[in-house]
A and B are shown apart, each in its own frame.
Chain A
Amino acid sequence: MIKTKHMATLISCVAVSVTAQTAKSVIEIWVWGGPSQLETFDPKPKAPTEYNNNLKAIPTNVEGIEISEMLPKLAQQADKYSLIRSMTHTHNGHETATYLMQTGREPGGGRVYPAIGAVVAMFKSKRYQGDIPPYVILTVPKGRFSEIGFLSEQYAPLVTGGNPTQPRFVVDGIVPAGDQSPDEMKARFDQMDALDTLGQVASENAAYKDFKTAGAGARRVVFGDAAKAFDLNLESAEMRDKYGRTQVGQSCLVARRLVEQGVPYITINAQGWDSHKRHFEVMRQRTAEMDQAVAALLADLSEKKLLDTTIVWWTGEFGRTPRIQQDAPWMGGRNHFCTCFCALVAGGGFAGGRVVGESDETASNVAKRPVAPQDLLGSIYELCGIDPDGKLPNPMNVDCVILPPESKEGRLRELYNNRISK
């Protein structure tokens, strides 16, 4: 009974909140661990060595915008994205900062709010008719984090598992491991159905019905065309090379294929950015992979005319300490730093070739136009046609607004391509 009521509330929310011209899909590139702002989109070549390690900034294809020399391919795509160099909050712990950046909410307070992926999936699911769940995570979930919060399980992400760089991308529960043929799999499902004694006595039970509905949906994905979205062998070798044969590169390619299927929200959790030690060694590897992957994704989406309807956003839970930590045990590392860090937004109504906000001469403080997490998320919601001040269904029927009020500086309206009717 509670579930039915919950669903009714949900439908009314959807009806109220979706506006006409909106982004259809979102690709979130979560730079897990906290990417250094100085080695990505806010280089400080004029800062002392103990801040920038003598790294340079390079020009982009947009006059006046420079990014780190570690991102040469992305420098050639700057007209497609905008940078925020003044992200700021107050949490330097991975878990609390991730919660804040994903939900727009301060941690604590007794309610676990859903991540943006689940919220977008919920609001978009009315129009989305695909067989693949509306929220897909490539390839691992964020640790110690609940994506759905208090929302219904139906908006939980499909977490692919597997490794898209392998010859077969074995997606958990969708692409069978080993050499099973579709016929063999069907035979196994039939056998499982034959053994389903619970169904014989509880076929009208609501929970059982939900279970069977979910199972039927999963089978449609497994045996229909939807699973082909995960089959990178259908892409040319040239295209795969373009993205880079790395976890993040091939994940970006899968994300593009999921966008083509209409999946509303795709998260790529890119690991390995928590560079407390060997920071520059780690950065050289990670930024090279990320540079190739994201540059290829933006170019590909643009060429396929998908960028206008697909938001791509890139950031982590925080940035990293601008001053390099030379003391033991770090010996050349950067720590967590929430005071000032950067984000990238592209497509789906976000203008390209612009910079919002500014940090000081060492990227240690926000100098102009601070951007709070709820402002960034609120902007994505607005471009998706979701009212950030709208309500979320809550199983306890508690009044829950999607986001807290925007900050004094407000959402990123200066980057909107005038598509929001509100």
Chain B
Amino acid sequence: MRISYPLVLCVSCAAMLHAAPYIGYVYPAGGQQGTTLQLLVGGSGILSKNDFGHVTGEGVTVRDIIVVPNFPNPSGVQQKWILSWLENIADGKMERPPMPTLQEHLDEWRENPWWETLDKLNDLQRNLVLRDLLARRNALQSAPSIRQMAIVTVDIAADAPPGLRELRLWNSVSGVSVPRKFYVSMMPHQCEPRYVSPSRPQPPLPTIDTIPVAVDGQLMPGEVDVYKFKLEKNKSYRFTAQARSLLPFIGDAVPGHCQLVLRLLDSDKKEIAFVDDVYFYPDPILYYKPTVAGEYTLEVRDNLYRGREDFVYEIALEQGEPALKEYPNPLPNMPQTKYSDLKRNSIDISQPQCVTGVIVNKNQYDTLRFKGRKGQSLVIEMIARRNNSPVDGIMRLYDDAGVKLAEADDYKEAINVGEYIQQVDPYLSMTLLKDGEYRLVLADRLQGCGADYRYWLRIGPAMPDFAVYSTVSFVNIPVGSAARVRFIVDRKEGFSNEVKIVSDDLVVSDTIIGVTNIEKNVTFKAKDERTFKPKPISLFAEASIQGKTVRKPITPADQMMQAFAYNHLLPAGNFYAMQYRASMRNTDPSKRASKKK
């Protein structure tokens, strides 16, 4: 039978998706400059000595990777045996306990390399064994995609620039993984206390008295993590939490992210502060100024008491007063006007311009006046929530007689790009039907107000444009073969032309996203030597806008599902291409790591 090339390609793509390493979480999600860290990475498709890691940016190197062998379910007798050995080690006795004598117990004995060598493991490894045996888990929330674990040791140079990085794993037989966030910071980090067997006395909670400090943790089902801090009188403190921002979308959780709650208690265990979000954003920031110096307890949990290994968080404690939010300018390439400077003057809509404003008062309605001509095209776009402003905008357009011509509330975009869950910014596009004066009135839909309530308004003629996103931020190419990546084009404001995908580094075919399509599977083949290492690749999209050919960088992104239902494109720092030696390997980790003796 003759098999067509596209079919072979399809199969090879499917095999690739099965086998490529996948990272579901990184814990801790950050570390201090000048330290060496053991990161616990959860995922799937992680091999063993063949795996390598890569952290973007300067100054962070992956020293080694130890793959945690998947732990099978031991019999009750074997579990007791492992626990008794761990207890002995905790008491300073390293020798193996005697094996059971009954053959029926030995028949049920399961093999795992770590269980056989507990005395040779380090503390973290032994703790993982203990946690696997005893920690509570929710079977409904278990995910095969994060069942595997690896300990990734990274060295952070003293001069490593602080900020966001991306960690990826890769190996030469299946390719490179999706990225996960990792932060280099200037402040010291402390991880939550390690799991302790319930049968042993729980060690006292250490008091953290060096501030600034970041604490890192993982929330398991029902867990409330607790930290003690020594705070001084009349100093302002800020606890900044990150959880959703570390993993913005979890496909198999509702809501589709870890939703942290922070609760601060005084020395009498009385709640003195509680926060579960910042405006609309789920990661909370808690401010507190003690009137009494002393020990304070911070409780950290998911607001629904959910938990799983990928419910990773980091909380930075620093001194600091509540401050205004800082926003980047989302419309930097056009004339800027402050609403407060407009007074009652008309604005010119013949060219696109940005009007910025702040909704400082309750029931504030900002009114913009402009003159328009019959047949004139007009677009009014508010950018607020997409720029992390709390404004939930609404806009109404009136003619000079006071007749309402249009109203805009939440605008549904063709694709969801970025971390926001729901697009609530309003957008109006129209052709004016008569000459005259017009009034645009805008407000916050929820009647919120404050200095943080800022908006950016683009007003002017339509700006036909396009943006292209990849749906994975990597392509893994089997040696001598090809692989496909799906691209999505966002056509804006009348742009309706075809778009071509271009790469200087790879051989690309099926490159045209036709005028009737919004997405396309594009085929890549390697151009260069067989390096078997991930290589950052620049991808471009070309199209004609109003007769002029425009070339724009493609935004590398990974498609992520949220709460079983909604797809989002999460931009990544780079797009990587990698060749790998395709091999038939068992992709089910549970079948590879354990067997009966």
Contacts and interface: CB of A to CB of B under 8 A. Distances in A.
Interface of B: 7, 10-11, 14, 17-18, 22, 24, 43-44, 143-146, 178, 250-252, 564-565
A329 B14 contact: no
Contact of B143 (A49, A50, A92, A277): A277
Contact of A331 (B145, B250, B564): B145
Given A277-B144, A326-B14, A329-B144, 18 more contacts: A49-B14, A50-B14, A278-B144, A327-B17, A328-B24, A328-B146, A328-B251, A329-B24, A329-B143, A329-B145, A329-B146, A329-B250, A329-B251, A330-B251, A331-B44, A331-B143, A332-B144, A336-B564
A50 B10 contact: yes
28 contacts: A48-B7, A48-B10, A49-B14, A50-B10, A50-B14, A92-B565, A93-B565, A276-B252, A276-B564, A277-B143, A277-B144, A277-B252, A326-B14, A328-B22, A328-B43, A328-B44, A328-B143, A328-B178, A329-B24, A329-B144, A329-B145, A329-B250, A329-B252, A331-B143, A331-B145, A332-B144, A335-B564, A336-B565
Nearest to B177: A328
Interface string A314-353: 0000000000001111111001100000000000000000
Contacts of B10: 48, 50
Given A92-B565, A276-B564, A336-B564, A328 B145 contact: yes
Contacts of B44: 328, 331
A330 B11 CA distance: 19
Interface of B is mostly: mixed
Contacts of A49: 11, 14
Nearest to B24: A328
Considering the complex of A and B, which 7 residue pairs feature the smallest CB-CB distances, nearest first?
Answer: A328-B145, A329-B145, A329-B143, A331-B144, A328-B22, A326-B17, A329-B252
A92 B566 CA distance: 11
Contacts of B14: 49-50, 326
Contacts of A277: 143-144, 252
Interface of A: 48-50, 92-93, 276-278, 326-332, 335-336
B413 to A, nearest CB: 19
A328 B42 CA distance: 12
A115 B366 CA distance: 48
Nearest to A328: B145
Nearest to A92: B565
Nearest to B563: A93
Given A50-B14, A276-B252, A330 B565 contact: no
A98 to B, nearest CB: 15
Tell which of A276, A331, A332, A335 has the most Cβ of chain B within 10 Å.
A331
Given A93-B565, A277-B252, A330 B145 contact: yes
B26 to A, nearest CB: 14
B255 to A, nearest CB: 14
Contacts of B18: 326
B309 to A, nearest CB: 12
Contacts of B251: 328-330
A328 B25 CA distance: 12
A337 to B, nearest CB: 12
A336 B24 CA distance: 23
A329 B14 CA distance: 16
Contacts of A329: 24, 143-146, 250-252
Contacts of A336: 564-565
Contacts of B144: 277-278, 329, 331-332
A114 B196 CA distance: 51
Contacts of A328: 22, 24, 43-44, 143, 145-146, 178, 251
A145 B143 CA distance: 28
Contacts of B17: 326-327
A330 B564 CA distance: 10
A277 B43 CA distance: 15
Contacts of B22: 328
Contacts of A92: 565
Among B10, B14, B24, B145, which residue has the most Cβ atoms of chain A within 10 A? B145
Contacts of B565: 92-93, 336
A8 B11 CA distance: 66
A335 B564 CA distance: 7
Nearest to B16: A326
A49 B11 CA distance: 9
Nearest to A278: B144
A340 B250 CA distance: 26
A50 B484 CA distance: 15
Contacts of A335: 564
Contacts of A278: 144
Nearest to B143: A329
Nearest to B43: A328
Nearest to A93: B565
Contacts of B43: 328
B167 to A, nearest CB: 15
Contacts of B143: 277, 328-329, 331
B149 to A, nearest CB: 15
A92 B144 CA distance: 24
B72 to A, nearest CB: 16
Contacts of B145: 328-331
A390 to B, nearest CB: 36
B218 to A, nearest CB: 16
A331 B24 CA distance: 12
A331 B11 CA distance: 16
B527 to A, nearest CB: 27
A204 to B, nearest CB: 48
Contacts of B24: 328-329
A331 B148 CA distance: 13
A335 to B, nearest CB: 7
A155 to B, nearest CB: 31
A2 to B, nearest CB: 38
Most buried by B among A48, A49, A328, A330: A328
Contacts of B564: 276, 335-336
Most buried by B among A92, A326, A327: A327
A406 B7 CA distance: 43
A171 B10 CA distance: 53
Contacts of B252: 276-277, 329-330
Nearest to A327: B17
A20 B143 CA distance: 54
Nearest to B14: A50
Nearest to B18: A326
A277 B251 CA distance: 11
Q: Determine which residue in A50, A329, A330 has the highest number of CB atoms from chain B within 10 A of its CB, and name it.
A: A329
A179 B565 CA distance: 48
